[in-house]
Amino acid sequence: MELSSINKNNIRETVLQAIKKAKALQPALNAVVTFVDVEEQLQKLEMMDPQLPLYGVPVVLKDNVNTKGILTTASSRMLSNYIPVYDAHIVEKLKDAGAIIIAKASMDELGMGGTNLSAYTGPVNNPYDTTRISGGSSGGSAVLTAAGVTPIAIGTDTGDSIRKPAAYNGVIGMKPTYGRISRYGIIPYASSLDHVGYFSTSIEDACVALSVLAGRDDRDMTSSYEAVPNYLQSLNSDMQGKRIAIIDNVQNAITDSKIKENFNTLIEQMKQRGAIVESVHLNEDLLSVILPTYYILANAEATANHSNLDGIRFGMREDGDSVEEVMIHSRTKGFSTNIRKRFVVGSYSLFVENQDKLFRKAQKVRRLLVDEVKHVLDTYDATIVSATGSIAPHPQDSIDEQLSSEYLIAENHMILGNFSGYPSMTIPSGFVDDMPVGINLMAKPFDEQTLFNLGKAIQEETGLKGKTVEVKL
């Protein structure tokens, strides 16, 4: 589904059909946490300009995006009673552009995961094969885009939470530069790594979405003052002379020959279009500690960010004979085992006696990794790698932050985009064993236009523009 397919002459029917489709798919996909009553939005739309960029477009939000008066759970039992009193900045932006919010999508609990198996409402299933995972943490949004419910769905990305499910579900996943989109009103995970992004099925729609969502917001001090271009107007697919670096550490770490073949075929097509594609080798020792470095930093920040979810100041409450008991009971029942484990790791690395040997050391390693990426992009326009080392696995075969040498680089390299804050995008590159696979691009800060231009050329080669899947019910 693309923006161009929206019938502006009968918006009500278009929106209601999108909701009807999402509800029909819910038993198979389990992608929605809350359906939104759209009547008030539709009435307001009647007084708006039909030329608005997202006029009447049904949009899905990841359930960590605050929506005034609408349940927002971040797929955690702890927030199962949380109804915000305000809209996130991006909700305001979407509505001002004419979009209609139709649903809140499932996610890994509090965004902490890469499988979408941990949501308190249950796992989200892949629309290409419902016995396989969607990926996470933005799995619900990815799935609803891939199934053709909506042309644009909002996600967030702290490690690869947009870009990996995009690959697993055969859609475009865009994580722009850190600060490009305001995070005001987003339930956080790790503040120095969190990005707001989105899914689409065409590069053209990805351009429109970023032009709508980007821009300075004084309520988010990390949001950028950088001017917002008209990405669609500047879009072109000319690859002539573009310098693109293959990070060979990543490709060498991938063992699936079919994914390697898919990647190599695309590289040859890019070369035929005039691109200069060369391999670069990064420090292998540094790349092998991406995941543990991320695990320390992200969970330390998460521990601080969610210290208020204690049943007293915030979140669902369990009874106890004292304030301390209420907090213990609420956090024990409110969070899954996996989340509690992350908080333990985060707290441990923040103990005064551990900060130098864990937290600050991880910060230094992060800086070294960013320097590696910067050095490559000083010479090249973008990097390119296979987004994942496999197709979407079955739940019993899925890995989530597994500290195994087999997966350390092949499955965690996209964290580099969060460590650096550089723009990074996954785009479909074909199919392996009837399941979608994708490639990942990364460019210099605020050079999203290069990603879009390269993406358009790739889209032309693959013929996958607007591709969605009919879910077998």
Q: Is 405 a catalytic residue?
A: no
Is 273 a domain residue?
A: no
Phi, psi of 450 (to 5 degrees): -60, -40
Alpha-carbon distances, residue 207 vs 242, 310, 455 (angstroms): 20, 40, 11
Nearest to 142 by CA among 90, 95, 100, 106: 106
- Among residues 75, 106, 161, 424, the one annotated as catalytic is 161
Strand order in the sheet with 100-105: 32-35, 100-105, 58-62, 152-157, 195-200, 172-175, 424-432, 435-443, 382-386, 243-247, 276-280
Angle at 421 between CA 468 and CA 135, to 5 degrees: 35
Residue whose entry in the numeric block shows the structure tokens 């060498």 = 252
Is 311 a domain residue?
A: no
Q: Is 258 a catalytic residue?
A: no
CA-CA-CA-CA dihedral for 138, 390, 278, 459, to nearest 10: -60
3-class DSSP assignment, residue 290: helix
How many domains does the chain contain in total? Answer: 1
Is 249 a domain residue?
A: no
Phi, psi of 379 (to 5 degrees): -110, -30
Is 329 a domain residue?
A: no
Rounded Cα–Cα distance for residues 69 and 315 (Å):
16
Largest CA distance in the chain: 72
Rounded Cα–Cα distance for residues 95 and 90 (Å):
8
Structural domain of 95: 3-239+447-462
Q: How many CB atoms lie within 10 A of CB 308?
A: 10
Rounded Cα–Cα distance for residues 155 and 405 (Å):
29
Please list, in sequence order, all residues whose beta carbon lies within 8 angstroms of the beta carbon of residue 340, skipping any fewer than 6 positions away: 331, 332
pLDDT at position 399: 75
Is 368 a domain residue?
A: no
User: pLDDT tens track of the chain, all 473 residues?
Assistant: 899 999 989 999 999 999 999 999 999 999 999 999 999 999 999 999 999 999 999 999 999 999 999 999 999 999 999 999 999 999 999 999 999 999 999 999 999 999 999 999 999 999 999 999 999 999 999 999 999 999 999 999 999 999 999 999 999 999 999 999 999 999 999 999 999 999 999 999 999 999 999 999 999 999 999 999 999 999 999 999 999 999 999 999 999 999 999 999 999 999 999 999 999 999 999 999 999 999 999 999 999 999 999 999 889 999 999 999 999 999 999 999 999 999 999 999 999 999 999 999 999 999 999 999 999 999 999 999 999 999 999 999 887 666 565 688 999 999 999 999 999 999 999 999 999 999 999 999 999 999 999 999 999 999 999 999 999 98
Is 155 a domain residue?
A: yes
pLDDT at position 406: 64
Angle at 145 between CA 120 and CA 26, to 5 degrees: 45
Q: Is 347 a catalytic residue?
A: no
212: β partners: none
Rounded Cα–Cα distance for residues 48 and 25 (Å):
31
Nearest to 461 by CA among 248, 328, 207, 269: 269
* Preceding omega of 234 cis (within 30 degrees of 0): no
Is 269 a domain residue?
A: no
Residue whose entry in the numeric block shows the structure tokens 């004979």 = 321
Phi, psi of 12 (to 5 degrees): -55, -45
Contact between 424 and 440 (Cβ < 8 Å):
yes
Joined together, the tokens standing for residue 21 give 């489709």
Looking at the chain, the number of H-run helices and the number of E-run strands are 16, 13
Phi, psi of 245 (to 5 degrees): -105, 125
Joined together, the tokens standing for residue 335 give 């969070």
The string of DSSP letters for 171-216 reads SEEEE--TTSS--TTBPPS-TTT-EEEEEESSHHHHHHHHHHH-S-
Contact between 462 and 237 (Cβ < 8 Å):
no
CATH number for the domain harbouring residue 197: 3.90.1300.10
Please list, in sequence order, all residues whose beta carbon lies within 8 angstroms of the beta carbon of residue 368, skipping any fewer than 6 positions away: 283, 286
Instruction: Give, for 66, the enclosing helix (H) or strand (E).
Output: none
Angle at 400 between CA 249 and CA 143, to 5 degrees: 100
- Among residues 76, 118, 137, 424, the one annotated as catalytic is 137
Residues in the chain: 473
